[in-house]
Amino acid sequence: MSVILRADNVSKKFVIGDGSVVNALSDINLEVESNRLVCLRGRSGSGKTTLINILGALDKPDGGSVFFGGRNITELGPAECDKLRRHEMAFVFQSVALISTMTAYENVEFALRLAGVPIKQRSARAKECLTRVGLEKRMYHRPGELSGGEQQRVAIARAVCHRPKIVFADEPTAALDTPTGLAVLKLFRDLVRDDDLTIVMTTHDETMMELADTVYALEDGKIASAVKNDITPSDGSQA
Ligand SMILES: Nc1ncnc2c1ncn2[C@@H]1O[C@H](COP(=O)(O)OP(=O)(O)O)[C@@H](O)[C@H]1O
Ligand SMILES: [Mg+2]
């Protein structure tokens, strides 16, 4: 096993309107191994979004460092962060943010175009990814013609189509009912097992956490516990 992502003493403060300071994160230390599904849990306001944004190079900490593939990404400038995010990372959010006038296929094809994938490869890759998430029969539907769970699957296909190393998903199941959310989690497990991906996600839903390899609990911006579930043996094969 190898560590793909590490946070060393990460902290983040926000100064709000009246001048008071919110310590959103204090002294966060964590490690994410490759080919794992890692969950950040915690109630609203515990710092999950702030942390996942810093891990995914969308935001900078005030103190501490984040290492991705051995590289200190907190020292990178905006252009380098952008390149890193575009090529090696992917993001899935609670609100799906598909382009409503485009079909599922066109949404994924467009993402491949933005990622610089040559035109000849795009069609096959888009179809392959939509099939991968179980949408082979829904490819030519627009988002408005898909259920919430199906839309989230399109967003996942769009996120993984350029073959990132890591996916950051902030509350990807929060807008879904429990069975649909669990189906998304099972898809995440399959992607981690078969597609050489690492996934870091946030949730406040207990049932989702059971499917994660490691669950870090955040409380008031601090890591209160780290629990390893016995899901993936260390040789990488699935139990
Ligand atoms: N841009 C911001 N400005 C001021 N305070 C913020 C900002 N973003 C987050 N916070 C505060 O930081 C804390 C953690 O927020 P957040 O990371 O969004 O938590 P979670 O995602 O777990 O709900 C909260 O107290 C929140 O109000
Ligand atoms: Mg949040």
The tens digit of pLDDT for each residue in 11-37 reads 999 998 899 999 999 999 999 999 999
Q: Is residue 129 part of a domain?
A: no
Tell me which residue has its CA closest to atom 11 in ligand 1.
Answer: 24
Exposed, middle or buried: residue 154 (CB in 10 Å: 0-12, 13-18, 19+)? buried
Q: Is residue 179 part of a domain?
A: yes
Tell me which residue has its CA closest to atom 5 in ligand 1.
Answer: 14
The arithmetic mean of pLDDT across residues 162-184, rounded, is 91
Which atom, in ligand 1's list, is nearest to the CA of 12?
12
Q: Is residue 219 part of a domain?
A: yes
145 pLDDT above the threshold of 70: yes
The arithmetic mean of pLDDT across residues 166-189, rounded, is 91
Q: In whole angstroms, give the CA distance from residue 167 to residue 150.
A: 18
153 pLDDT above the threshold of 50: yes
Beta-sheet pairing, 222-228 with 214-219: antiparallel
Q: Is residue 133 part of a domain?
A: no
User: What's the pLDDT at 232?
Assistant: 61
Q: Which residues line ligand 1 (CB under 6 A)?
A: 14, 16, 22, 24, 42, 44-50
Categorize the per-residue pLDDT at 210 as very low, low, confident or very high, splitting at 50, 70 and 90.
confident
List Cα–Cα distances, 72 to 2, 34, 90, 163, in angstroms.
16, 17, 18, 22
**Which domain does 93 fall in, by range?**
3-97+165-228
238 pLDDT above the threshold of 90: no
Side chain identity, residue 217: A
Tell me which residue has its CA closest to atom 3 in ligand 1.
Answer: 14
Identify the CATH number of the domain in which residue 211 sits.
3.40.50.300
User: What's the pLDDT at 60?
Assistant: 96
User: What's the pLDDT at 195?
Assistant: 85
Tell me which residue has its CA closest to atom 2 in ligand 1.
Answer: 14
In eight-state DSSP terms, residue 52 is H
User: What's the pLDDT at 95?
Assistant: 81
Q: Which residues lie below 8 Å from residue 131, measured CB to CB, with a gap of 6+?
A: none
Percent of the chain with pLDDT over 90: 75
Q: Which residues lie below 8 Å from residue 108, measured CB to CB, with a gap of 6+?
A: 126, 129, 130, 154, 157, 158, 161
Q: Is residue 126 part of a domain?
A: no
202 - beta bridge partners?
A: 40, 170
User: What's the pLDDT at 233?
Assistant: 55
Higher pLDDT, 232 or 118: 118
Per the document, the length of the chain is: 239
Q: Is residue 143 part of a domain?
A: no
| Domains: count for the chain | 1
User: What's the pLDDT at 167?
Assistant: 96
Q: In whole angstroms, give the CA distance from residue 139 to residue 154.
A: 9
Q: Is residue 142 part of a domain?
A: no
Tell me what the pLDDT averaged over the chain comes to: 92
Residue indicated by tokens 């392959």: 128
Q: How far is the CA of 14 from the centre of ligand 1 (A)?
A: 8
Q: How far is the CA of 143 from the centre of ligand 2 (A)?
A: 24
Give the pLDDT confidence of 39-86 residue by residue, as tens digits: 999 999 999 999 999 999 999 999 999 999 989 999 999 999 999 998
Q: How far is the CA of 113 from the centre of ligand 2 (A)?
A: 29
